[in-house]
Every structure is written in structure tokens, then in C-alpha cells.
Amino acid sequence: MIVRPRLRLWEIFCILRLSVVPRIAPQIAVVVVCATVVTATWRRWPDAFAHFSVAPFTLLGIALSIFLGFRNNACYDRWWEARRQLGALISEVRSLARFTLATPVAASSSASRVDQQRREAVVRRIIGYVYALMSDLRGEPMPGQVARYTPGYLPASTEGKHPRSVPDALLRELAQQYGAMLAAGEFGEQIYQRLDERLSSMATIQAACERIRSTPTPFAYALLLHRTAYTFCFLLPFGLVSSMGYTTPIFSALVAYTFFGLDALGDEMEEPFGEWPNALPLTAIARTMEISLLEALGEVDVPPPLQPVESILR
């Protein structure tokens, strides 16, 4: 996610690295070349474009703008829903850790020291689950934090294979840990139900994030938009050259930058868990939850929050 101070006036027109210009530069260049060829042809044979009018392009441009705006709104809704789900996960994880550590040991349990150690180990496994979920959403290998906080984090199944979903396996293991604590008499049924509700909420958030990741916008929808945008930008010089003359390549480039830029931004917003600069900072969010849970355990040596690197927070 791009994190930087508000742009100054001269930076608005000069900054390139964090904009979509590098991504769409080839398309803009092709449009400029096409517009230049059309302008040169018009200069040699001006009557060849006498019957071309900009009116159809005006109507098509309005329709395309509405279409692009609708798609970008849909893609931004995916991005914002993903951020809301991760924000809810932070709340659920903190509540689960607080409830796990603060619940008094039942009077029937005699080994209070062992019980507290088990609870601290469960909280550490929650941290491992968070990192496993973030890596799974981004499609990356499991980071070292998973092995550090959850020893044996890849329990083999009955066929001797690792589980397809490591976060789901860790969530089941957490449920088993709480079940064992219930069986040992550390807390009663009501406390267990409260803990199970938190786990169920975490599972719901995980399922929602997986739904966002695995359900892109319909392909035909994006294909229609791409075709319309490319057709409009490549045909636009024919309608502009009679009225704009030698400035046709400049205005064609501005229109191409607008339409292709909105299209590229929609592609980035559509994948909130991806590697684009505008994707959600999953690692930073996981680090935030790690810090909260380690502080709840009374740890002094906790890692610092992640900071943006070259204005990008991962």
C-alpha cells in the first residue's frame, strides 16, 4: 500500500514511480504513434478526413467513462471489504488473546502454573495462524514466523501429506487446544462457548478473505471494457485531427492516459491481496497483531511496527 505525504503541486505532474504511468506507457506510446501517423496523413491529404466528426467519440467517451467508473467502484468495494475483514480480524485476535489469558483458572484445576504456560502457548499459536493466513492470501510460502510460533505447523494428514490450507489446519488445532483445556477443567462450558465464538468469527473472516481472493470480476466484463477502451483510443485521432490539427497526438495521449490509467487502477484494486503497490499491507497488519499479542504476554522485546520502504508498506 502506498503511504506518503500529500503531494505538492509540482510533484503532481512530475512523480512517476508510484503512479500507473510506467504500466500504461506502452499503450500511450502506441496511441501517440497512431495519432502522429494520422496527423501526418491529414497534413498530406486534408480532404481524406473531412467527413470524420468528433461527435460519435463524445457519446462513446461518456459511455466509456461511466463504464470505467462503475468497474472501478466495484473493484474498490472489493479492496475496502478486504480491509474491513482484516480490521475485524485484528479485533477478534486481540479479544481471543485477552480472553484466553485473563480467564481465571477453574478451582478444580490444581496445576495453575502449567495451565498458564499452556495458555501462553495458545496465544503464540494465534500469532502463527495470523502469519499463515496472510501468506496464504498472498500466495507466498509460509514465513519463518509460522514455524517460530507454531512448532510442527504442518501436521501430516492421514495420508501422510500436508494440509492444503495451513491456516485452516492451525485453526482446527487451536480449537483442539481449547477443547483439551475444557476437558482438563481449566474453565467451564460458558467460557468455552465464548472462546469458540471468537474462533468461529476468525473462521468466517478467513472464508470471506478467501472468497475475495478466489472470485475475480467476470472475465467477459473486463474484456468488454478493455476492447472498448482500446478501440476508442486508437480511433480517436481520426475524429480529432480535423479540429485539433497538430495537437492531435497530445490530446490523444491525455485521453489514453485517463482511460488506460483508470483501467490499470481497477486491475490493482481488484486484487487487494496481491503484490501491486496499492495492495493491502498484509505483512504490516500481521506485525501489528504480533506486537499486540506479544505485549499481552508481557514480552518486552517485541518487534517494531513495519515502516514504508520507498513509500510502499508491505
Domain that holds residue 158: 9-296
* Cβ atoms 273, 86 nearer than 8 A: no
Q: In this predicted structure, what is the pLDDT of residue 156?
A: 46
312 DSSP β-pair partners: 2, 309
In a domain, 309, yes or no: no
At 91-136, the pLDDT tens digits run 999 999 998 988 776 555 555 555 788 889 999 999 999 999 999 9
Q: In this predicted structure, what is the pLDDT of residue 106?
A: 57
Alpha-carbon radius of gyration of the chain:
27
Better pLDDT: 140 or 103: 140
Q: Which residue has the cell 478486504?
A: 82
DSSP character at residue 47: G
In a domain, 53, yes or no: yes
Q: In this predicted structure, what is the pLDDT of residue 26?
A: 92
In a domain, 21, yes or no: yes
In a domain, 308, yes or no: no
309 DSSP β-pair partners: 312
Q: In this predicted structure, what is the pLDDT of residue 161?
A: 57
Q: Helix (H, G, I), strand (E, B), or coil: what is residue 253?
A: helix
**pLDDT beyond 50 at 158:** no
Please, which pLDDT band fits residue 85 given cuts at 50, 70 and 90? very high
Grid cell for residue 201: 468469527
**What does the pLDDT average to over 41-62?**
80
**What does the pLDDT average to over 286-313?**
91
Out of 68-72, 178-182, 195-199, give the one with best mean pLDDT.
Answer: 195-199
Cβ-count burial 161-192 (b if 16+ within 10 Å, e if not):
eeeeebbbbbbebbeebbeebbebebbeeebb
Helix 282-296 to helix 112-138 angle (10° resolution) is 170
Better pLDDT: 311 or 132: 132
d(CA 314, CA 138): 11
**pLDDT beyond 60 at 157:** no
**pLDDT beyond 80 at 145:** yes
Give how many domains the chain has, as a whole number. Answer: 1
2 DSSP β-pair partners: 312
Q: In this predicted structure, what is the pLDDT of residue 311?
A: 80
At 208-225, the pLDDT tens digits run 999 999 988 888 888 888
In a domain, 263, yes or no: yes
Q: In this predicted structure, what is the pLDDT of residue 108?
A: 55
In a domain, 313, yes or no: no
In a domain, 1, yes or no: no
- Supply the mean pLDDT for the chain: 86
In a domain, 80, yes or no: yes
Contacts of 285 (CB under 8 A, 6+ apart): 86, 90, 134
At 231-268, the pLDDT tens digits run 899 888 888 888 888 899 999 999 999 999 988 888 88
Q: In this predicted structure, what is the pLDDT of residue 112?
A: 53
